[in-house]
Amino acid sequence: MTKRLILMRHAKSDWDDPLLGDHDRQINGRGRVSAQAVGSWLKAKKMTPDQGLISSATRTRETFARLGITCDATFLNELYLAGAHQMLTTLKGAKGACVLMLGHNPGIAEFAESLLAHPPEHARFFDYPTCATLVADFEIDSWADLSPGTGTAKGFVIPRELTG
């Protein structure tokens, strides 16, 4: 059986309010456009999730909302600024056939790199800019069986490729 992961970094955040805590920052105008573009890309490719594991931060929640995708979403404090190990632990508890995990750098980039047998040939994969999105497939029956280095990249996109 194949399981699919959509691994996304939140859209560009707004830094206009210096008094606002990091967890509470929203996405800016460019981020809103980017999230909508990536959501449209996922729908056009027929790669929409049936489960979402989303950091509890405001910018990840807003990114998810702007994707325009409906799925069973859980907003998790443990994914806020999570490292690769925490992300793997969380994903191993997933139940969906196609799971969207939405989080933050540097953890998201480290996690993406650790999951794949071979990275996609994309100049921006290793720095994983805002709203960058990896789609990877795993030949497993359950997320609990997931091991690093076993994924196959099916797509990687950054918003600038979609919005011009």
Tell me the per-residue pLDDT of 85-136, one tens digit each, with 9 for 90 and over: 999 999 999 999 999 999 999 999 999 999 999 999 999 999 999 999 999 9
Residue 108 lies in a domain: no
Distance CA 147, CA 99 (A): 16
Tell me the per-residue pLDDT of 16-61, one tens digit each, with 9 for 90 and over: 888 888 899 999 999 999 999 999 999 999 999 999 999 999 999 9
Distance CA 129, CA 12 (A): 9
* Number of domains making up the chain: 1
What token pair was written down for 86? 């925490």
H or E stretch including 13? none
**Residue 48 lies in domain:** 15-76+84-94
* pTM of the predicted model over 0.85: yes
Strand (E) positions, the chain? 2-9, 51-55, 72-76, 98-103, 133-139, 152-157
Q: For the chain, how many residues are written?
A: 164
Tell me what pLDDT residue 87 has: 98
Confidence tier at 164 by pLDDT (50, 70, 90): low
Residue 19 lies in a domain: yes
The whole-angstrom distance between residue 150's C-alpha and the CA centroid of its chain comes to 18
